[in-house]
Amino acid sequence: MRIERTTNIQEVLKCVPFEMEIIKKGRDSSRIKDRLLFVKSQLGNPAFGHWMAYDDEDNVIGYTLAMLSLVPGMERLHLLRMWAPKKELKETFCEILETWAKDNHVKTAQITTTKNIKVLKRKYGFVVDSVNMVRRI
């Protein structure tokens, strides 16, 4: 297995079947086209990271996306997506993200979710820090 940070949109496109699976299972309602446009616009941004894991035959076996907020007083690692079916890969991605955050003097990880809140608290140590409220404008 190897993990690489990518800035190549062709590599990112290899994640589309997994994104379709995530949407099909009801875990995300965003449009793939919109997500790809966002990722493409951020690939050159040093505060954005897209890591991909490959097996020995160069097949994608997982990926993660995150952004750093470096605004003073609001430094955060924003975990945008992690698709890693194996526990070991999830742990490796978490280590990579933690190292990246610490290298940039960021000490807090943040995730926004509408589902699996209890699982994220129990399995990954997230705690409710604030509540996001929204309204249509």
With 70 as the cut, is the pLDDT of residue 135 above it?
Answer: no
pLDDT at residue number 137: 73
Q: Which amino acid is residue 52, in one-letter code?
A: M
Domains and CATH numbers, the chain: 2-112 (3.40.630.30)
Give the residue with greater pLDDT, 24 vs 50: 50
Q: In the chain, where does DSSP find H-type helix?
A: 9-12, 16-24, 32-42, 87-103, 117-124
User: CA–CA separation, 119 vs 117, rounded Å?
Assistant: 5
Structure tokens at 78: 């924003």
Count the Cβ atoms, other than its own, within 10 Å of residue 104.
14
Backbone angles phi, psi at 17, to 5 degrees: -60, -35
pLDDT at residue number 61: 97
In whole angstroms, how large is the CA radius of gyration of the chain?
15
Tell me the percentage of the chain whose pLDDT exceeds 70: 93
**120: confidence class by pLDDT, cuts 50, 70, 90:** confident
Q: What is the pLDDT of residues 8-35, one digit of tens each?
A: 999 999 999 999 999 898 888 889 999 9
Q: Which regions of 6-135 does DSSP assign to beta strands (E)?
A: 48-54, 60-69, 76-83, 109-110
Q: What's the pTM?
A: 0.85
For residue 45, count CB atoms less than 10 angstroms from its CB and return exposed for 0-12, middle for 13-18, buried for 19 or more: exposed
